Amino acid sequence: AQRVTQPEKLLSVFKGAPVELKCNYSYSGSPELFWYVQYSRQRLQLLLRHISRESIKGFTADLNKGETSFHLKKPFAQEEDSAMYYCALSRVTSGSRLTFGEGTQLTVNP
Amino acid sequence: EPEVTQTPSHQVTQMGQEVILRCVPISNHLYFYWYRQILGQKVEFLVSFYNNEISEKSEIFDDQFSVERPDGSNFTLKIRSTKLEDSAMYFCASRRSGGVGEELFFGEGSRLTVL
C-alpha cells in the first residue's frame, strides 16, 4: 500500500524566513513524488516533481529514500506563497493514481 | 491555456437521488481521473479511465458509482443513489499520457451537498 504523511496541518512563518513543509511516504517500490499547491480560490496545480529536480518559485524538494521523505523547502518565504500544499506519490506505472497527503496550510505573515 | 472544466460548481441533492457530475478534460489528454475531498480530509482517488475503460478504481468506488465518456469530450461521474457521506468536493483531472512524472491537470471541482 502507498501512504503519504504530512505531519503539519498548519504552518505559519514570517516573510523572508525559511520554510520547510514535511512529507514522509511509505511505499515498497520506487515512487514518483510530487508537490501540488492550491492557492486561495484556485485549482490544484503541480508545483514540482522529484524526477525533474527543478526549482519552481524558489521551492526545492529532495527525495531522501533512506528517510522516505520529500520535504519542500524555500529559503526566503514570500506572502504570495501562502497556500495549501499537498505532497503526493504515484507508482512508476503508466497512468498510475496519485496518493495525496493530508495537506499543509502555509501562511506567510508580513 | 487549456483547462479542465467541471459542471456544476455546486449541487445540492436529496439523499437517494442520482447525481451526474460533468467534466471536460483537456482535448489532447488520454488519461482521466476522479478524486474527491470530504471537508477537512485528504484528496482521495476514486477512479482512473483510459482507452474507454476503467483502468483502476479505489475501494470507495463501489457499485453506486459509474463513469462514462459518452462522446469525444465529456467525462462524467454518476452516483446512483446518493448518501449523506457522499457530500464532498469532486475533482476531475486529466493528463496527456501515462508517462513517469507526467503532470495531472485538475478542474476547479464540483461541490456536492447531500441533504
Positive or negative, the Cα torsion across B95, A85, A71, A56? positive
Cα A1 from Cα A91, distance rounded (Å)? 10
User: Mean pLDDT, to the nearest integer, of B40-48?
Assistant: 94
| Mean of pLDDT over chain A | 93
* Positions of E strands within chain B: 5-7, 10-13, 19-24, 31-37, 43-50, 53-57, 65-68, 75-79, 88-95, 105-106, 110-114
Q: Which residue has the higher pLDDT, B1 or B15?
A: B15
Which residue from A52, A93, A99 is facing B101, i.e. has the nearest CB?
A52
Within 10 angstroms of residue B50's Cβ, the number of other Cβ atoms is 17
All residues at 6 or more sequence positions from A48 whose CB lies less than 8 Å from its CB, including other chains: A34, A35, A54, A55, A56, A59, A60, A61, A72
User: Mean pLDDT, to the nearest integer, of A17-39?
Assistant: 93
Which residue from A42, A45, A102 is facing B42, i.e. has the nearest CB?
A102
Q: How many CB pairs under 8 A join A and B?
A: 57
First to last CA, chain A: 41
Contact of B72 with chain A, judged by CB distance below 8 Å, is answered with: no
Cα B114 from Cα B36, distance rounded (Å)? 14
Which residue from A45, A49, A100 is facing B101, i.e. has the nearest CB?
A49
Q: Confidence class of residue B113 from pLDDT cuts 50, 70 and 90?
A: very high
Q: Cell 459509474, residue?
A: B66
Looking at the predicted structure, is the pLDDT value of residue A94 above 80? no
Asked if B11 and B112 touch (Cβ cutoff 8 Å), the reply is: yes
Asked if A33 and A89 touch (Cβ cutoff 8 Å), the reply is: yes
Q: Which residue has the higher pLDDT, A41 or B21?
A: B21
Asked if A30 and A92 touch (Cβ cutoff 8 Å), the reply is: yes
Provide the grid cell at A80.
504570495
Q: Cell 478534460, residue?
A: B25
Nearest-Cα distance to chain B for A17, in Å, is 27
Choose from B57, B92, B102, B105 for mutation: most chain A CBs within 10 A.
B102
What is the per-residue pLDDT for A52? 80
Name the residue among B106, B104, B103, B86 with its Cα closest to residue B37: B86
Range from A29-33, A83-87, B1-5, B61-65 carrying the lowest mean pLDDT = A29-33
Looking at the predicted structure, is the pLDDT value of residue A96 above 90? no
Contact of B96 with chain A, judged by CB distance below 8 Å, is answered with: no
Looking at the predicted structure, is the pLDDT value of residue A54 above 90? no
| Mean of pLDDT over chain B | 94
Nearest-Cα distance to chain A for B54, in Å, is 11
Which residue from A42, A45, A97 is facing B45, i.e. has the nearest CB?
A97
Contact of A95 with chain B, judged by CB distance below 8 Å, is answered with: yes
Looking at the predicted structure, is the pLDDT value of residue B44 above 80? yes
